[in-house]
A and B are shown apart, each in its own frame.
Chain A
Amino acid sequence: MSVDLSQFHQVFFEESYEGLDVMESALLNIDLSNIDEETINEIFRAAHSIKGGSGTFGFMEIAGFTHVVETLLDLIRSDQFVMEPDHVDLFLRSVDCIRTMINQLESGETCDMEIADELKVAFELLLDGDQISGVSSDADVSNGGAQEENIGAKGWQIYFKPELDILRTGNDPVRMFRELSELGELSTSAVTDEIPPISSIDPEACYMAWNLTLLGGATEEQVNEVFEWVVDDSELTITPLLSGEERGEDEPEAVKVKESAATEMSKSALEPVKETVVEEPSELQISTATAAKKTMVNTPTVKKEAKTESASIRVGTDKIDDLINMVGELVITQSMLSELGKDFAIENMPKLMEGLEQLGMHTRELQENVMRIRMLPISFAFSRFPRLVHDMSKNLNKKVELVLLGETTELDKTVMERIGDPLVHLVRNSLDHGLELPEKRLELGKNETGKITLNAFHQGGNIIIQIIDDGAGLNKERILSKAIENGLVTGNEHLTDEQINDLIFLPGFSTAESVTDISGRGVGMDVVRRNIQELNGSVEVESTEGEGSIFTIRLPLTLAILDGQLINVGEQVYIFPLVSIVESIQSHDQMIHRVSGGCDVLRLRNEYIPIIRLWEVFNVKPEYETVEDGLLVIVEGDNIKVAVLVDDLLAQQQVVIKSIRENYRTVNGVSGATILGDGTVSLILDISGLIKLAGVGRDSYKKINESNDNEAA
């Protein structure tokens, strides 16, 4: 039977990444003055598993490198080596190195061994030369040594006296004899001399010994292999039957040996036993090395397949069990309904209603639980930060304490994958621009060690992620002057603190006086905001000068489902994401102002809000053309509020988002589509796109508020 090992590669990659994460966080938490046994065991186990798995699945590059890592860890674990800060860094670099290698293998590339070789040299310097045997040197053993020396032998004479406890280890002489008989013609004769009198017999002990004669071309290696597990505790002598003997003569010869065997051979046994013990490891090594070679040859074909493999997700069995339960409920409800439908009488109406209600409930539960499958704890995204902060604070000479809160908060896998980079950017930003240097902090009467907190929690169908630092906070004056300098705002407008802080998210804004290695990577806060908005989320900043900043990211729990507000314009039904709706109002004359440039604005509580007529933008026929007749839905996108004129508000419901881009092409102002209960397709509106489409972007928003300010003045 041949098993295609490549089917397990993906699982191996994933568990290796997890193992590396475990290693990394344990290494970062390690207290060198008082190394916790379990921590070092944890690191060792992770490295050990990666080594074992990579060997099994034929990734010898990783197995070879992990071997030296593991060897040193083993020495540390057994207190034969004292770990110092430099070694922690070496291990951390190895973690990175293995991660890169796995990454390369996962994408079907060959491993870049440059760093691995470099690190390996460092490890070898730390280790005594002779301690690095195992995989690396095993691979060097040529299989030339594997030739059997006893080809000429006609067979083997074996004396085997197992230890008394052999049966209690699950070994069974009969089983071994059966195995031997597969190698050739076997004759056995039991030596029963040492069986004690029946009164003192232990029924579970084995008092017998055997003389065996094996005829045929079996090699000594093969014979040894049969006794591999018991050789250390047993008396075993294997002597070749002299060559040149005729087959027919073998039998009496063997019998002769048998006669004297019990006494003589057990005496002379000592020497040959030693011999077999010594030989064994080298044979073992050879067999593993050839096995390794075999699998290595296979890898090129395997790699191609790995590329096409789709990403998998590991789901807790409790989630699956819940699902199965729920499907069971659903099936029961379904059969109840179909029973009811067989010959439906009107008096069964209440029953039908009840059934439908149940169906609705189960469907909802099922939906929620299916969503939970894709949910992973945010610790997956948070886990990289201890390392990042560790490395960065070292580079910047800052002292930083990182606090992670709400790590078990669950989030959709796709959202998680896409929020990683923006999060990294924000944390980098806080570390680089937010936190002050230790001296400065002391001067200001703050704790020398700055604090960055990552906090995640659920709030009304959203997940909130906060990046909180106790650094300098945003410098509003500098932001404002920079914004004026860059022409993002004019000097004579009234901006609230919030609005000023928000300027940092505008394209082309950067206050960093010099571009540092850390955050000056050509990506600004505008990209952070855009990335988050692509996920239907938002990002805001609150800041108090001298006390720190709080960046708050708000994200939907999943990208597949949206809480929507259905609205209609004429016969068309559109959907607003519920999160973007601020309020809905019925306007009257006095609230509407017409400003130069042909744009109507709504004056609402001293704020001027541009009006967008949805029928105009999408060119559909509405029921109400004028603002006075219809309803105004105030929505917010890109931190701009607009009032959208619609005919009516319909239901609020969860809708399943279908991509328009994938099925058709990108449509401005529309983020997706969904299918409603009656089967019609409804478009989901993208507020920021809509604002651009209607041409009431920030500029006109600014102009409106300016001109009105002037009017007021």
Chain B
Amino acid sequence: MATILAVDDSASMRQMVSFTLKGAGYDVIEAEDGQKALDKAKVSSVDLVLTDVNMPVMDGIELVRNLRTLSDYKFTPILMLTTESAGDKKMEGKSAGATGWLVKPFNPEQLLATIKKVMG
């Protein structure tokens, strides 16, 4: 089964995302900031990355940039979780190499629909 790396500094969001994805049969690795996500991505095989943008230590955009420099993650779908007011962040993320985004707030159904869009 596909493995998803879920990155968010908010524990409740992480739990919600992780619970939803696990319920749909995905394996989930959680990380609470970009740096931790990067460390975990290096040692595991991840099929999709789902990352928050605003995080301490390393933000989501920096994470995308860093992931794209790794040969294993050159083409891996990376989705950003952004808020609707952060239009410029979407573009910044895109130019850093993000695949797409999911607008917060989202509900579990929307999350799964978006994941399905990428994972088939």
Residue ranges of A at the interface with B (Cβ–Cβ < 8 Å): 1-3, 5, 7-9, 11-12, 15, 42, 44-45, 48-49, 51-53, 55-57, 63, 67, 70-71, 74, 133-135, 138, 167-172, 175, 178-179, 204, 226, 228-229, 232-233, 281, 284-285, 288, 291-292, 294-295, 314
Shortest distance between the CB of B16 and any CB in chain A (Å): 5
Q: Are A71 and B85 in contact (CB under 8 A)?
A: yes
Q: Are B77 and A295 in contact (CB under 8 A)?
A: no
17 pairs, CB–CB < 8 Å, chain A vs chain B: A2-B109, A3-B16, A3-B19, A12-B10, A42-B56, A48-B54, A52-B104, A55-B104, A135-B84, A168-B68, A170-B99, A175-B120, A229-B94, A288-B84, A291-B106, A292-B105, A314-B11
Shortest distance between the CB of B22 and any CB in chain A (Å): 10
Complex Cα–Cα for A169 and B94 (A): 7
Say if the beta carbon of B2 comes within 8 Å of chain A.
Answer: no
13 new A-B contacts at CB < 8 Å, known A169-B94, A229-B99, A288-B103: A1-B112, A3-B108, A7-B19, A8-B19, A49-B10, A49-B54, A52-B83, A52-B104, A67-B85, A138-B84, A204-B74, A226-B117, A288-B105
Q: Are A284 and B13 in contact (CB under 8 A)?
A: no
Say if the beta carbon of B44 comes within 8 Å of chain A.
Answer: no
The residue of chain A having its C-beta at the shortest distance from the C-beta of B118 within the complex is A175
Q: Are B100 and A229 in contact (CB under 8 A)?
A: yes
Shortest distance between the CB of A233 and any CB in chain B (Å): 7
Residues on A with C-beta less than 8 A from B15 are 8, 11
Shortest distance between the CB of B11 and any CB in chain A (Å): 5
Residues on A with C-beta less than 8 A from B20 are 1, 3
Complex Cα–Cα for A175 and B76 (A): 13
Q: Are A228 and B100 in contact (CB under 8 A)?
A: yes
Shortest distance between the CB of A677 and any CB in chain B (Å): 41
Complex Cα–Cα for A294 and B105 (A): 12
Q: Are A48 and B84 in contact (CB under 8 A)?
A: no
The residue of chain B having its C-beta at the shortest distance from the C-beta of A50 within the complex is B10
Residues on A with C-beta less than 8 A from B104 are 52, 55-56
Residue ranges of B at the interface with A (Cβ–Cβ < 8 Å): 9-13, 15-16, 19-20, 23-24, 54-56, 68, 74-78, 81, 83-85, 87, 91, 94, 97-101, 103-110, 112, 117-118, 120
Shortest distance between the CB of A43 and any CB in chain B (Å): 12
The residue of chain A having its C-beta at the shortest distance from the C-beta of B112 within the complex is A1
The residue of chain B having its C-beta at the shortest distance from the C-beta of A178 within the complex is B120
Q: Which residue from A5, A67, A134, A169 sits with its C-beta under 8 Å from B99?
A: A169
Complex Cα–Cα for A64 and B114 (A): 25
Q: Which residue from A5, A12, A172, A204 sits with its C-beta under 8 Å from B108?
A: A5
Q: Which residue from A48, A63, A70 sits with its C-beta under 8 Å from B105?
A: A63
Q: Are B110 and A56 in contact (CB under 8 A)?
A: no
Q: Are B11 and A11 in contact (CB under 8 A)?
A: yes
Q: Are B108 and A291 in contact (CB under 8 A)?
A: no
Q: Are A284 and B84 in contact (CB under 8 A)?
A: yes
Q: Are B105 and A56 in contact (CB under 8 A)?
A: yes
The residue of chain B having its C-beta at the shortest distance from the C-beta of A165 within the complex is B97
Shortest distance between the CB of B54 and any CB in chain A (Å): 5
Q: Which residue from B12, B54, B84, B101 sits with its C-beta under 8 Å from A11?
A: B12
Complex Cα–Cα for A52 and B120 (A): 27
The residue of chain A having its C-beta at the shortest distance from the C-beta of B111 within the complex is A3
Q: Are B12 and A53 in contact (CB under 8 A)?
A: yes
Complex Cα–Cα for A63 and B98 (A): 26
Instruction: Give me the 7 closest cross-chain CB pairs, A-B, nearest first.
Output: A55-B105, A229-B100, A170-B99, A12-B12, A3-B108, A170-B77, A56-B105
The residue of chain B having its C-beta at the shortest distance from the C-beta of A63 within the complex is B105
Q: Which residue from B13, B68, B84, B108 sits with its C-beta under 8 Å from A285?
A: B84
Shortest distance between the CB of B94 and any CB in chain A (Å): 7
Residues on A with C-beta less than 8 A from B11 are 11, 15, 314
Complex Cα–Cα for A674 and B55 (A): 48
Complex Cα–Cα for A3 and B87 (A): 28
Q: Are A291 and B105 in contact (CB under 8 A)?
A: yes
Q: Are B84 and A134 in contact (CB under 8 A)?
A: yes
Shortest distance between the CB of A111 and any CB in chain B (Å): 17
Q: Are A56 and B83 in contact (CB under 8 A)?
A: no
Residues on B with C-beta less than 8 A from A63 are 105
Q: Which residue from B10, B108, B110 sits with its C-beta under 8 Å from A53?
A: B10
Q: Are A168 and B84 in contact (CB under 8 A)?
A: no
Residues on A with C-beta less than 8 A from B109 are 1-2
Complex Cα–Cα for A70 and B105 (A): 15
Contact A170 to B76, CB < 8 A, known contacts A15-B11, A45-B54: yes
Q: Are B94 and A133 in contact (CB under 8 A)?
A: no
Residues on A with C-beta less than 8 A from B118 are 170, 175
Complex Cα–Cα for A649 and B118 (A): 73
Q: Are B23 and A3 in contact (CB under 8 A)?
A: yes
Residues on A with C-beta less than 8 A from B107 are 5, 56, 291, 294-295
Shortest distance between the CB of B59 and any CB in chain A (Å): 9
Complex Cα–Cα for A67 and B97 (A): 28
Shortest distance between the CB of B107 and any CB in chain A (Å): 6
Residues on B with C-beta less than 8 A from A44 are 54
- Select the residue from A134, A229, A281 with max chain B CB neighbours within 10 A: A229
- Select the residue from A8, A15, A44, A52 with max chain B CB neighbours within 10 A: A52
The residue of chain B having its C-beta at the shortest distance from the C-beta of A135 within the complex is B84
Residues on B with C-beta less than 8 A from A15 are 10-12
Complex Cα–Cα for A1 and B21 (A): 10
Residues on A with C-beta less than 8 A from B54 are 44-45, 48-49
Complex Cα–Cα for A226 and B91 (A): 17
Complex Cα–Cα for A134 and B82 (A): 13
Q: Are A53 and B13 in contact (CB under 8 A)?
A: yes
- Select the residue from B15, B91, B112 with max chain A CB neighbours within 10 A: B15
Residues on B with C-beta less than 8 A from A178 are 120
